Structure 1
Amino acid sequence: MSFFARLRDWLSGLLDPEPPMSSLPDLRIAVGTPVQEASATVRPGARPGSATQPGPGAVSQPARANAGVMAISSQRTRIHAAFDAGMPVEHRAGLAGRARELDRLVEAVLEHGKHGIVFGARGSGKTSLSRVFGDLADEAGATVLYNLAGGDIDFSELCRPYLVELMSIPGEGVRRIDIQPLLNAPFDARQVASILAEKVRRPTIFVLDEFDRIENLATKTEMATLMKLLSDMRSPVRIVAVGIAANLEDLIEGHPSLRRHIVSVPIGGIETEQLKALLLRCCETAGMTIDDAAATRISRSAVGSPYHLRLFGSNCAIAASRAGQDHIDDAVVQQGLVDAYAEWSALSPRAAAVVADIQRLPKQIATAAAVICLAAAMRTRIERTEVVLVLDEDGHDDATIAAAFAALSPILHASAIEGSYYFDDTLAPQFYLLVYNRRIDPTRIKTPGLDDLRTVLERGVRDL
């Protein structure tokens, strides 16, 4: 399906604001509040339901309260473990909607001997994909080594851990004497490529996560050179780089010759039904049930993002737990989405302020901004020409489109490629759409600690 066709499908389902919400329900419960049970112990001679002293075998209120706290704690632990929005999945069963991307990476790297570059938005599942790929590569007999990039790290610091790890693997072929000159002195791509090509005999994969965080241009240049040299030397060592990017050019800028040696695996938004299947698996693991309408609402709100799906789902499950239930219905979904937004806005106040401000603009501008956010949620990078073509069909003039881009400009930036843009907070598009579709009302959300500060100010400095 073409991008425009998919965007049109998403538009038809996501950009029709719902009626304004009613007041949020109060889902709080008091931990340890006595619960009447039909099988409660009754003192002989007492009327059913009358006050009694605990009889033999009866559970005291403190013990019952402690049991309730332990049960809630256990349930919350299961919920966090099942959804775990902040961590990559460890098993292929949790890798929802990425079968095609996984097959592409396996075929290119394991069968054709190419390097891989996996890129997409934050929370799109890049690291999860690379972990599952690593499991498959391991099962196929390859050695898989992981490392994280970032900051002003130089090439030698980035590659040295791989060499040290290879040296410690029996039968790998790399000995300490082979890499001794590289352990305490800087080296370049040709030096390390020569050792790897000569000494490594079995398929070996270096997975390099957060490749986009490398700030040292010389390091990126040497890494690109290493990829090319390993291919030219027919080394069994392959590199899979993983990073946040809107397109391949953002990661291999200045190294077009790499294209024939690599496979690019873009990670875009996945379909609502696949997100829904992931949500149902998470709920089952957490010991929760969920209404079909509630599951659909959470899945649609995630707009293609597994991270948002897990984040929204976990907050909704916790809201249900606070309400003393193990079932997620529409009422707790409303509260869970509010909680997720509050959590994000506390960590990203500038982006949250932009989201709130745009809602005060004319509807046409807010809708144009929603289309921009929708394109970003699906593709990470926004192509202005594509957005304009879609909005022109809906009757948006150039001035409205320009106003939407301007309204988003505090968090939307032009990329190195002319006519394209990206969000500095790649989680923001889904939260904007959450507000646009009136699934939550940001004006009802208070910044944590605001009331405390106001109380201090009203009380005065003398009382501190």
Structure 2
Amino acid sequence: MAKLNIWNWISALGRWLEGGRAPRRLDATLLLDHTSLFEEAPTSPIELSQKNQIRESSERDSRRDQVKVARIFDSAHPVRTRGELFGRADELDTLLSATLDLGQHVIIHGARGSGKTSLVRVYGDHADGHGAVVIYMACEPGASFAELVRPYLSALPAAALAPEERVRFRNALNALPEAFGPRAFVDLVAERVASTVVFIFDEFDRITDPNVKAEMAAAMKLLADSLASVLFMLVGIAHNVADVIECHPSLRRHMRAVSLGRIEPSSVKALIDAGEGATGLKFNDDARAIIARASCGSPFHVRMFCHHAAIAALARGSSSVSRSDAHKGLHSAILQWAAMNSEDAQHFVSLVEDETLLPEIERIARTAALGDRLPSHIGDARALLGSALVPESNSNAAFVFRDSVAPQFLIAYAILAEVAIASDAANRLGGPIDAATL
């Protein structure tokens, strides 16, 4: 059997989605794109100028529409307001209650793309409105405890300190040694910080040194015991952030854990509805179903697939996002992801070549997408997915995708493979192919 070139297969599929012949699978004869070498010449310079003006105006309008779509369905950045935070109202209320009402530390965990950073950004705006001081930073791998917390101490505004302690705090901060531990940190802030202060440590899963995790846990326990106004909020991927609790089991009564799973179908619908209202584009029911099927409730994937589908609709001059546009959107989203993860992408193509495996592939990918892990007993997942899976927390009890956003892309591959198979069957029967119905 010939070895498949992923880029040839994806390119052939893309050309078919644009109106060409469906790609046969491994033995596909790739189509060449042809454009006419001849155009009817304008009859006068005035006519040429008018045509150029019309084209430039159309291109400007199209560019504005694309920018609007990219902003509304932005999967690359955290959301900006509570109105954009779909499906997380309960989690936001929990964070506000735990920190502002109960004075608890918080751990937020969930898969990449689940909206952790978006949640804490919106939380910060609300907490600030309630008089708290929220300082957000992302963790750097290899940082010591002192290197982690010193920037937060330096960023503390004077208004957060008791007036009579402001000068003493700055002097004591400057006098801290390069390497200091949890006790020195707590001694510095416990009596001097007068208002509620929340230090958000985003991407805490990048910290792998168990000693640093133990010191963070010790600092949280000391802060709680001293009734300090400083709280920690640790944000990261679940099986790493949970290690902090294991370092100091008695922390459990001083903290709240918030797990971010997938958003409900009603929230997926609300997200797309809001996008329709903001962009003026209408997503038909088939397009919505395809996006929902592939995204599995991941806000990141919903936005990404909607973005690419909407761009496909704009490219054909339509204000309605169709089934065909959704397929084209999956295709272009795959291209974007595959450029960053060619190894898994190549393997996924080889998997969906066997149409008999498609139901099992989607079942495995959906299980991982919804639960962020695969129990070790689930079917032939390990045999099928190979190096795309890695053990969870260095054990064989469960596996996770090496790239945590990959399961939804594997489902997208399976969907497009189904489309290509259906078209191939129609070709063999000699019937016409309407890409918009596939």
TM-score normalised to the size of structure 2? 0.80
What's the offset of the Cα at 1:130?
Answer: 0.9
Q: Secondary structure at the match of 1:201?
A: coil
- The equivalent of 1:373 in structure 2 is 365
Cα distance in 2 for partners of 1:176, 1:22 equals 63
Cα distance in 2 for partners of 1:366, 1:326 equals 33
Q: Deviations over 1:189-223 (max 9, x none)?
A: 11111111111011110111000011333222211
- In the alignment, structure 1 residue 406 sits paired with structure 2 residue 383: yes
What's the offset of the Cα at 1:376?
Answer: 1.8
- In the alignment, structure 1 residue 189 sits paired with structure 2 residue 182: yes
- The equivalent of 1:277 in structure 2 is 270
Q: Secondary structure at the match of 1:265?
A: strand
CA contact (8 A) 1:123 1:306 kept: yes
Q: Deviations over 1:57-85 (max 9, x none)?
A: x9711222221221111111111111111
1:177 to 171, 176, 195: 171
The correspondence of residues 28-39 of structure 1 with structure 2, limited to 5 A, is: none
What's the offset of the Cα at 1:424?
Answer: 1.4
Q: Secondary structure at the match of 1:410?
A: helix
- The equivalent of 1:127 in structure 2 is 117
Q: Deviations over 1:84-112 (max 9, x none)?
A: 11101111111111122222222222211
Q: Deviations over 1:271-314 (max 9, x none)?
A: 22311210221232223222233223212321110000000011
- In the alignment, structure 1 residue 358 sits paired with structure 2 residue 358: no
- The equivalent of 1:341 in structure 2 is 334
What's the offset of the Cα at 1:146?
Answer: 0.5
- The equivalent of 1:162 in structure 2 is 152
1:384 to 376, 385, 389: 376
One-letter amino acid matched to 1:404? A
Cα distance in 2 for partners of 1:439, 1:110 equals 50
What's the offset of the Cα at 1:143?
Answer: 0.5
Q: Secondary structure at the match of 1:199?
A: coil
From the superposition, tell whether residues 331 and 159 of structure 1 become closer, same or farther in structure 2 (CA, over 3 Å).
Answer: same
* Runs (5+) with no aligned partner, structure 1: 1-19, 35-49, 388-400, 444-464
Q: Secondary structure at the match of 1:205?
A: strand
Q: Deviations over 1:295-344 (max 9, x none)?
A: 23212321110000000011011111211223212221111111111111
Q: Secondary structure at the match of 1:278?
A: helix
Q: Deviations over 1:382-409 (max 9, x none)?
A: 2335x4xxxxxxxxxxxxx2x3322223
Cα distance in 1 for partners of 2:399, 2:245 equals 18
Q: Secondary structure at the match of 1:170?
A: helix
One-letter amino acid matched to 2:327? Q
- The equivalent of 1:239 in structure 2 is 232
TM-score normalised to the size of structure 1? 0.76
CA contact (8 A) 1:435 1:441 kept: no
Q: Secondary structure at the match of 2:247?
A: coil
- The equivalent of 1:453 in structure 2 is none
From the superposition, tell whether residues 330 and 359 of structure 1 become closer, same or farther in structure 2 (CA, over 3 Å).
Answer: closer
Moved runs in structure 1, 4+ residues, more than 4 A?
A: 20-23, 50-55, 438-443
- The equivalent of 1:148 in structure 2 is 138
What's the offset of the Cα at 1:51?
Answer: 7.7
The correspondence of residues 441-460 of structure 1 with structure 2, limited to 5 A, is: none
CA contact (8 A) 1:280 1:295 kept: no
Larger % of helix: which? Answer: 2
1:100 to 82, 86, 90: 90
- The equivalent of 2:392 in structure 1 is 415
- In the alignment, structure 1 residue 427 sits paired with structure 2 residue 405: yes
CA contact (8 A) 2:136 2:202 kept: yes
- The equivalent of 1:459 in structure 2 is none
- In the alignment, structure 1 residue 313 sits paired with structure 2 residue 301: no
Cα distance in 1 for partners of 2:244, 2:368 equals 18
Cα distance in 1 for partners of 2:354, 2:155 equals 56
CA contact (8 A) 2:204 2:241 kept: no
What's the offset of the Cα at 1:361?
Answer: 5.2
CA contact (8 A) 1:21 1:439 kept: no
1:302 to 259, 283, 295: 295
Cα distance in 1 for partners of 2:245, 2:364 equals 25
- Aligned sequence identity (%): 34
One-letter amino acid matched to 1:357? S
Q: Secondary structure at the match of 1:101?
A: helix
Cα distance in 2 for partners of 1:150, 1:279 equals 35
CA contact (8 A) 2:313 2:325 kept: yes
Cα distance in 1 for partners of 2:181, 2:90 equals 35
CA contact (8 A) 2:216 2:244 kept: no
From the superposition, tell whether residues 51 and 292 of structure 1 become closer, same or farther in structure 2 (CA, over 3 Å).
Answer: farther
What's the offset of the Cα at 1:441?
Answer: 6.4
CA contact (8 A) 2:268 2:292 kept: yes
Cα distance in 2 for partners of 1:442, 1:187 equals 61
One-letter amino acid matched to 2:129? E
- In the alignment, structure 1 residue 136 sits paired with structure 2 residue 126: yes
One-letter amino acid matched to 2:401? F
